[in-house]
A and B are shown apart, each in its own frame.
Chain A
């Protein structure tokens, strides 16, 4: 069992290498076809042509494109993702320090969306086109259609400006508090570990609205998917027999849930990857400074090394997520 799982994982990692290379090449090309000249950005506005040529030479921009790509890959293999030209810090450092902030937003939202969405979807599937189904479809359609960033703005207006319940939509902690020393890099977890209850409460307060917005946006697809999966399973023979044999609704729901586990886990992977993207917009609106917020800034500032690093990080995240999903599937359905 363990051996099949490890060979399986190895195969998956090998298969994803061409995918990663493709994504790397796309991002590598796009910063080079762009309008902005990286050399001009680094040298500054008053650089004379001599300095520009020198910077270009230092960056290897005078080389053919495939030589540049090769050199880029070699540096990647050594763990060198380049430096952000905005502050000169290595990109890898940025990625690692910002990732926990994003995970702290995305993971609770994903968990909430599934804890709420799956029961709703299952319930709706029991009586398609019934009242409950109609209402839940309406909620799902809204979750599908609402722009998350706009939802964030509306939440800020209602809960910060009008009601005063939420803290100012900026940062991870109230201004007057000092963040506890990082242990794990997860702000709330660090505050809890340090026993700093005030900081922990403030941190959770800052997290509440963004998580709720993201949950609603993620919940729509979850409801729709859970409903579709449940309807398919409800039409299968073993459920039909169970119903004919007079099993209780609760018991049948449990059977459906068991059957829905594998497709739901697969869907959770897809959702998680897309939440990394949607989450970046929420981080941007609430100025949380996570990986997504940092990445969007890099895109807006044409910070090439940072953009490449961000896209690469997302690609690696998605490969890892899909790998974990496949391993979970293998554990849940060993015969598959």
Chain B
């Protein structure tokens, strides 16, 4: 890389330009790039919703009920005469209002518990793991439905319930990571030097454990979006006329047998696209973090 290059060009080549870095990542994991693109598009739609949406998402046009897709209403209108396209765009705000806090909450609960269980071991570990077993042995969606139905339908209840139900996954993940790291030479060395437990956990173990957990984050967020849509579809989550995708599918369900297919179809496509994007992003992050995984094609 050096001898034949003129000296004045060195500072430029010393660090590849940012665009080259992005391209490099995209080449190493197209999955990651595709996922990131989809998720960013939804994030933009959520932020710019008022400017992107042709109509107010909850404004009802009483004389324009159940119109098929046309120029004024690109995806048609629903049974209340509301514009589907605008509702879908504003719906991405609900998706992010669920997936961001749910991800943070389940990480914030799961991470310390996993550190504790893994580092302490003994009865603390035993109790925490048994509790996680209780939740794992059970179809989570039903538990979420039952708890949210009992606690009352609101965004905050959905976030708390879904976040807590998902935290054992992170706890398990972090615990496994800690168990592997506890005997790692650099941790043993730190302990031999007389580092305090807190320092070992915070400085030596936590950064490594966090990496493994964040790789799982997008996939868990995809799950959170799905489950909150399911709650809304059953009618115990966020309620119509709020433009939440699951609630919109619920509204459209009755029109499927009378031929107004667009009311239920488009929210479903939108939901699938975001879930696919998040899953691709998660797979991509894991590919980038663990090149062996990519090579073996797992």
Q: Do A and B bind each other?
A: yes
* A-contacting 9-mer, from B19-27, B71-79, B147-155, B180-188: B147-155
Given A30-B150, A128-B297, A311-B146, answer yes or no on A318-B268 (Cβ-Cβ < 8 Å).
no
A23 with B146: CB separation less than 8 A: no
| B-side interface mostly | helix
User: Which interface residue of B131, B145, B222 has the most chain A CB atoms within 10 A?
Assistant: B145
Cβ contacts under 8 Å, B133 to chain A: 19
Contact of B143 among A18, A26, A133, A228 (CB under 8 A): A26
B222 with A145: CB separation less than 8 A: yes
How far, in whole Å, are A276 and B246 apart by their CA atoms in the complex?
Answer: 20
Q: 1/0 contact trace for B241-269 toward A, CB 8 Å?
A: 00000100100110011110100110010
Cβ contacts under 8 Å, A34 to chain B: 149-152
How far, in whole Å, are A133 and B296 apart by their CA atoms in the complex?
Answer: 13
Cβ contacts under 8 Å, B272 to chain A: 142, 145-147, 150
B264 with A299: CB separation less than 8 A: no
A161 with B259: CB separation less than 8 A: yes
Cβ contacts under 8 Å, A19 to chain B: 130, 133-134, 137
Cβ contacts under 8 Å, B264 to chain A: 150, 153-154, 157
A295 with B142: CB separation less than 8 A: yes
Cβ contacts under 8 Å, B268 to chain A: 146-147, 150, 153-154
Check A177 for interface membership: any CB of B closer than 8 A: no
How far, in whole Å, are A141 and B276 apart by their CA atoms in the complex?
Answer: 7
Cβ contacts under 8 Å, B147 to chain A: 30
* A-contacting 9-mer, from B60-68, B104-112, B226-234: B226-234
A228 with B298: CB separation less than 8 A: yes
Q: State the Cβ distance, A258 to closest chain B Cβ, in Å.
A: 21
Contact of A153 among B137, B146, B253, B296 (CB under 8 A): B253
Given A145-B222, A147-B249, A273-B139, answer yes or no on A35-B146 (Cβ-Cβ < 8 Å).
no
Cβ contacts under 8 Å, A319 to chain B: 137
Cβ contacts under 8 Å, B139 to chain A: 273-274, 276-277, 314, 318
> Chain B: which residue is nearest A169 at the CB level?
B257
Given A295-B142, A299-B145, A311-B143, answer yes or no on A147-B233 (Cβ-Cβ < 8 Å).
yes
Q: State the Cβ distance, B41 to closest chain A Cβ, in Å.
A: 16
Q: Which A residues between 10 and 42 are near B, CB-CB below 8 angstroms? A: 16, 18-19, 22-23, 26-27, 30-31, 33-36
> Chain A: which residue is nearest B267 at the CB level?
A150
A231 with B296: CB separation less than 8 A: yes
Total number of residue pairs linking A and B with CB closer than 8 Å: 145
Check A113 for interface membership: any CB of B closer than 8 A: no
Cβ contacts under 8 Å, A27 to chain B: 146
> Chain A: which residue is nearest B235 at the CB level?
A300
> Chain B: which residue is nearest A27 at the CB level?
B146
Contact of A277 among B142, B151, B246, B252 (CB under 8 A): B142
Q: State the Cβ distance, B295 to closest chain A Cβ, in Å.
A: 9
Cβ contacts under 8 Å, B253 to chain A: 153, 285
Q: 1/0 contact trace for B212-234 toward A, CB 8 Å?
A: 00000000001000100110011
Q: Which B residues between 6 and 38 are near A, CB-CB below 8 angstroms? A: none
A30 with B257: CB separation less than 8 A: no
Q: Given A34-B149, A144-B275, list of 11 further CB < 8 A pairs?
A: A18-B130, A22-B130, A35-B150, A147-B246, A153-B256, A153-B264, A157-B256, A157-B257, A311-B142, A311-B143, A314-B138
Taking Cβ atoms with an 8 Å cutoff, the residues of B that contact A are 130-131, 133-134, 137-143, 145-147, 149-152, 222, 226, 229-230, 233-236, 246, 249, 252-253, 256-259, 261, 264-265, 268, 271-272, 275-276, 279-280, 296-298
21 A-B pairs within 8 Å (CB atoms) are namely A19-B133, A30-B150, A36-B150, A129-B297, A142-B272, A144-B279, A145-B226, A147-B229, A147-B272, A149-B249, A150-B249, A153-B253, A153-B264, A154-B265, A157-B256, A277-B139, A285-B253, A299-B149, A300-B149, A318-B138, A319-B137
Taking Cβ atoms with an 8 Å cutoff, the residues of A that contact B are 16, 18-19, 22-23, 26-27, 30-31, 33-36, 128-129, 133, 141-142, 144-147, 149-150, 153-154, 156-157, 160-161, 168-169, 228, 231-232, 235, 273-274, 276-278, 280-281, 284-285, 295-296, 299-300, 302, 307, 310-311, 314-315, 318-319, 322
